[in-house]
Amino acid sequence: MSAWSAGPLLDAADVTSGTRVLDVGTGPGVVSREAVRRGASVVAVDADPGMAAAARANVPGLDVREAVLPDLPLPDASFDAVVGNFVINHTSRPDEAVRQFARVLRPGGKLALTCWEMPPSGALSLVGEALEEAGVPVPDDIPTPPFAELGKRGPFAGLLREAGLTDARDAELRWTHLVDPEEWWTTGALARIGTNGVIVSRQDAPTIAKVKAAYDRLAARYATSDGRLALPANALIATGVR
């Protein structure tokens, strides 16, 4: 689902042929691959060794470094553009991470970040709605994510402004994600990824079955004629200049 925004993200950072770009939180290298296709010179960073290996495999010759944000072991003013596709909402210190992004930008360089819009809706809220309908509470030991408040227009741009970037602004990104309903249940609920996945993983089999029944009822709102789901994806994109 997040691959859709690779193009808009690079457009927002003015990434073209010859641009020296840093792709933070590259994951499997989707954004880096598109940047290379445009003729950019790319360095990619990810915290997970497995993801770094996947990016190297998916983008032959890609310079991939391993680093855990907000630590960014790269020289000051060394990039024309820094981009991050849905990585800032996974950092525990987003303010410090953005300061690091600004540090490695050359004067006049551009930062572009995407994050999921808060509160979650559409594609991101479906499993959570099913948990709520099934009466499964959020455990006390699961923290409120940092982007519960920052993932909104205004505060997101403000995060870049506070890091010293100029012309900071944010905008909405809207698209439709087509997916098989069972695939979405597996990736959103059973993969133990994200808050909802952790909550589902702690339940017994009868409770999971109850959540799945609620999911099926709620998912029917998005059903297409070919049996897939047309899920609305709601995100934000923020840009700023060094």
Strands (E), 156-241: 166-179, 229-241
Mean pLDDT of the chain: 95
pTM beyond 0.85: the answer is: yes
How far apart CA 103 and CA 105 sit, in angstroms, is 6
Angle between helices 30-37 and 49-58 (to 10 degrees): 30
- Here the tokens at position 46 are 């990810």
Which residue shows structure tokens 């934000």?
Answer: 236
pLDDT at 106 over 80: yes
pLDDT at 215 over 90: yes
Provide the pLDDT for residue 150: 82
Residue 42 and residue 32 in contact, taking contact as beta carbons nearer than 8 Å = yes
Bridge partners, 178 (sequence order): 230
Residue type, 71: D
Provide the pLDDT for residue 56: 96
Provide the pLDDT for residue 15: 98
pLDDT tens column, 138-161? 888 887 776 778 889 999 999 999
Provide the pLDDT for residue 188: 87
Does residue 73 have a cis bond before it (omega within 30 degrees)?
no
In order of their start, the domains of the chain are 2-241 (3.40.50.150)
